[in-house]
Structure 1
Amino acid sequence: MTRCLIWSILLSLAPICLRAEPLDARFAVQALGVKVGDLVLTGSVEARHYTATSQFRTTGLAGAVARVRFVLRASGIRTKDGFRPRFYREEMNTGRRDSQIDLRFDDGIAPAALSGGVIGRDDRRGAVDPLTAILMVLRDRDDRPPCALRQRVFDGERLTELHLFSEEAEADEVICIGTYRRLAGYPEAELRQRREFPLRIHYRAEAGRMRATRIRVETIYGPAVLLRR
């Protein structure tokens, strides 16, 4: 009885320590040294819940060659330990076809309907949607960046893992180093081609907060870089 009472008090007080944070981050996206599009992240991280929207569209020469646009939306619960998604929507327009994916998380686990049930429930347990994963690492923060993070990500079809495992310090910057790894849901040919992609996230101290200013990740097409605008 006493133990339950103590836990109830702690859980009721925990949200008080969590500060509401507006989201408004804009990035120029480069591939092979050339700007190919713009990425915008907006929303709000409140004491008890969060909402986020991310939009990407090709621009310039890349936009003239291939008009690609996607909109991601996510919402969920914020806890002292992190983020638990409840809903995720992905709207994609490649210029050739439109697609939409909706995921509703039941007790923190997304259904595997799109993957045909190939990815088991235990593998999906604790996985977040792609936008929640983006929010976790790209939001402005008062504390040090999460340079020790291992988070599974599930989009309804593919299971991946974001792993940050070390950091470097340069003047007023902290650089998180890690990988983005394909786990399941990909064709075997793609897995044989490459499973793991290096990742570097630069955080800079600005106005008393740590802000992600540069992200570099390897892709099957070469390096991609996001620069804060």
Structure 2
Amino acid sequence: MYKIVFYITLFAGLLPLLFLFLKKKAYDKNHPAIPLLWLTAIGTLYEFIGSGLLKINTLYWFQLYPFLSFIALYYFFFKLLKHDYKNLFRVLFILFISVYLVSFYFFSEENKFITTALNRIPITIFVFTFIALWFKNLFEKMEEQNLWQNDNFYFITGLIIYYSSTLFLFIASNFIYNSNLYFFDFWIVNIIASLILRILLSIGVWKMKQD
């Protein structure tokens, strides 16, 4: 069952970019979510080919992926909020970079879940800060009549579900991995949350309109 869900989730990681190609000219080429969609597809291919087929050590990917995720999310929210809140963006950028540099102190095979947890915390703070501001702006301006037709609403919802579902898991992952608990019984939470995120990213892409 675990492997079935895992491979379904892997396949789902390619769908957002596939849908983007299928839409061709029917979307805004400068859409804030484009780097996030590419990163999702690249991450999926790396997990399948690099980690799955070639059995490459996941240590470096565990350290690199949070940095790439933050950059993609930074671009997404910076463009989405139309370059507002520049000072707050700078502060949270410095926070992430500071924590990311500190995480290299723990960089080792034995501590890879510690570094992942450390990096996940500022990313989650960043995501929920700007999600709150996006909703604040949305309700203040009252310009959106139907959120179900808003592509960004699906991207935002996917991020809410994923980061709220997995924060505690990542924080506790090192303890779970080194305890007598069966790690994959807990890691399935991350896989299911990733699947939901990828489905919502796909729906968001399908809802995209040309600028």
Counting strand residues as a fraction of each chain, which structure ranks higher?
Answer: 1
* Greater Rg over alpha carbons, structure: 1
Counting helix residues as a fraction of each chain, which structure ranks higher?
Answer: 2
Whether TM-score is above 0.5 comes out as no
Q: RCO greater where, 1 or 2, for CA within 8 Å and sep 6 or more?
A: 2
Q: TM-score, normalised by structure 1?
A: 0.28
